[in-house]
């Protein structure tokens, strides 16, 4: 009986040890492949970026409303400056993949364009709320709709736009917004909350209508 128990322990130990070796081998392979791709990416020559979807700013974006509010002026100036430079949303794409696709020489400019996107989304949200607070509802709606169409994943942007559509009883716009929210990536923080809020606005719209 003791011999059987001892043999069982040895066998279990061998199985565990073998599993650990296989796991370590897989981890090493993954690390090696990562660093090889990284090495290649850093040597990749510059390539065309024509297929990238840079943000296009409409001429009628309301960034010049006259105001004495210094905070609103700051938001407006920030966005005006951003519109003069390339802006793109590269979230979800690793630096390695960007270099492999478009070349190491383009990495710095693309990174700056991506950083501008983040600032753009945040500032559009802030300016839209400032416009709402000062009675510029139409202009706020335009900014929020542009932010959503441009790929913003800021929860407050989506819910504010949904609330505006609800107050206008614009069922079609609200349904379209809910559909867009459903297409947000699962890695977007607050996706569930966005969908829940928009769905609630849709139900309230039905009641009011």
Q: pLDDT averaged over the chain?
A: 87
Span 78-135, pLDDT tens digits:
999 999 999 999 988 888 999 988 999 889 999 999 999 999 999 999 999 999 999 9
Phi, psi of 188 (to 5 degrees): -75, 120
Task: Report residue 144 CA to chain centroid gap.
Answer: 15
pLDDT-based confidence at 27, cuts 50/70/90? low
Domains and CATH numbers, the chain: 2-208 (1.25.40)
pTM of structure: 0.82
């Amino acid at each position: 009986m003791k011999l059987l128990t001892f043999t069982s322990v040895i066998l279990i130990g061998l199985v565990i040890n073998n599993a650990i070796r296989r796991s370590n081998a897989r981890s090493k392979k993954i690390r090696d492949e990562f660093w090889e791709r990284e090495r290649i990416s850093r040597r990749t020559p510059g390539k065309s970026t024509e297929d990238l979807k840079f943000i296009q700013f409409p001429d009628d974006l309301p960034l010049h409303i006259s105001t004495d509010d210094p905070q609103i002026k700051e938001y407006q100036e920030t966005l005006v400056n951003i519109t003069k430079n390339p802006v793109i949303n590269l979230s979800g794409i690793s630096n390695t993949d960007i270099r492999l696709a478009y070349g190491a020489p383009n990495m710095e400019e693309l990174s700056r364009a991506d950083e501008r996107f983040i600032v753009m989304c945040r500032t559009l949200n802030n300016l839209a709320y400032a416009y709402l607070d000062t009675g510029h509802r139409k202009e706020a709606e335009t900014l929020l709709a542009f932010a959503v169409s441009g790929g913003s994943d800021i929860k407050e942007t989506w819910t504010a736009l949904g609330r505006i559509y609800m107050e206008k009883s614009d069922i079609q716009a609200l349904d379209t917004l809910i559909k867009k929210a459903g297409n947000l990536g699962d890695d977007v923080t607050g996706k569930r909350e966005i969908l829940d809020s928009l769905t609630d606005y849709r139900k309230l719209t039905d009641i009011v209508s």
